[in-house]
Amino acid sequence: MHPIVIIGSGMAGYAAAREFRKLNAEQELIMICSDDAANYAKPTLSNAYTGKKAPEQIALGDAGKMAAQLNMQIRNHTWVKSIDAAAHQLLLQQADGAESKQAYSKLVLAVGANPIRLAISGDGSDDIHVVNNLNDYKAFRGQIDQCAEKRVVILGAGLIGCEFANDLQNTGHNVTVIDLAPLPLGRLLPAHVAEAFKQNLEDTGIHFALSTTVEKVSKDSAGHYLVTLANGQNFKADIVLSAIGLQPNIALAKDAGILTSRGVLTNAGLETNQPDIYAMGDCAEVNGTLLPYVMPIMQQARALAKTLNGDRTAVHYPAMPVAVKTPAAPLTVLPAPLTAEVTWETDETEDGMLAKATDSEGTLRGFVLLGAAAGKQRLALTKLVPDLIPLSV
pLDDT tens digits for 298-353? 999 999 999 999 999 999 999 999 999 999 999 999 998 878 899 999 998 888 89
CB atoms within 10 A of CB 315: 25
- What HEC string does 83-129 produce? EECCCCEEEEEECCCCEEEEECCEEEECCCEEECCCCCECCCHHHCE
- Is it the case that residue 107 has pLDDT exceeding 70? yes
For residues 200 and 253, membership in a common domain is answered with: no
363 near 350, Cβ under 8 Å? Answer: no
Specify the CATH number for the domain of residue 127: 3.50.50.60
Position 349 scores a pLDDT of 84
Q: Which of 34, 83, 249, 224 is nearest to 146 (CA)?
A: 224
For residues 223 and 183, membership in a common domain is answered with: yes
**Is residue 148, in this structure, part of any structural domain at all?**
yes
Share of the chain above pLDDT 90, in %: 88
What is the C-alpha to C-alpha distance for residues 154 and 143, in angstroms, rounded to an integer?
A: 15
- Mean residue pLDDT of the chain comes to 94
Distance of CA 186 to the CA centre of its chain: 17
- CA dihedral (206, 207, 209, 213) in degrees, to 10, reads -60
Position 111 scores a pLDDT of 98
For residues 225 and 162, membership in a common domain is answered with: yes
Position 147 scores a pLDDT of 86
pTM above 0.75, yes or no: yes
Q: How many residues does the chain have?
A: 393
Give the pLDDT band (50/70/90) at residue 393.
Answer: low
For residues 131 and 209, membership in a common domain is answered with: yes
For residues 100 and 179, membership in a common domain is answered with: no
Domain end (from 242, 271, 290): 242
Give the pLDDT band (50/70/90) at residue 170.
Answer: very high
345 near 326, Cβ under 8 Å? Answer: no
**Is residue 320, in this structure, part of any structural domain at all?**
no
Give the pLDDT band (50/70/90) at residue 222.
Answer: confident
Domain end (from 221, 242, 263): 242
Position 340 scores a pLDDT of 86
For residues 235 and 257, membership in a common domain is answered with: no
Position 223 scores a pLDDT of 83
Type and span of the H or E element at 380: helix 378-382
- Is it the case that residue 363 has pLDDT exceeding 60? yes
For residue 295, what are the domain limits? 4-114+246-308
- Is it the case that residue 35 has pLDDT exceeding 90? yes
The average pLDDT across 144-155 equals 92
pLDDT digits (tens, 9 = 90+) for 177-206: 999 999 999 888 999 999 999 999 999 999
**Is residue 46, in this structure, part of any structural domain at all?**
yes
- Is it the case that residue 391 has pLDDT exceeding 90? no
For residues 105 and 203, membership in a common domain is answered with: no
- CA dihedral (354, 360, 361, 364) in degrees, to 10, reads -20
Q: 93: Cβ–Cβ under 8 A, 6 or more apart, which residues? A: 78, 79, 81, 99
The amino acid occupying position 81 is K
For residues 235 and 145, membership in a common domain is answered with: yes
Q: 64: Cβ–Cβ under 8 A, 6 or more apart, which residues? A: none
For residues 276 and 229, membership in a common domain is answered with: no
Position 228 scores a pLDDT of 97
Position 350 scores a pLDDT of 82
Q: Calculate the alpha carbon distances from 226 to 119, 158, 223, 364 in Å.
A: 16, 23, 10, 46
**Is residue 315, in this structure, part of any structural domain at all?**
no
- Total domains in the chain come to 3
Position 274 scores a pLDDT of 98
For residues 226 and 138, membership in a common domain is answered with: yes
For residues 10 and 46, membership in a common domain is answered with: yes
Give the pLDDT band (50/70/90) at residue 390.
Answer: low
Specify the CATH number for the domain of residue 347: 3.30.390.120
Position 227 scores a pLDDT of 97
For residues 130 and 235, membership in a common domain is answered with: yes
SS3 165: helix
**Is residue 318, in this structure, part of any structural domain at all?**
no
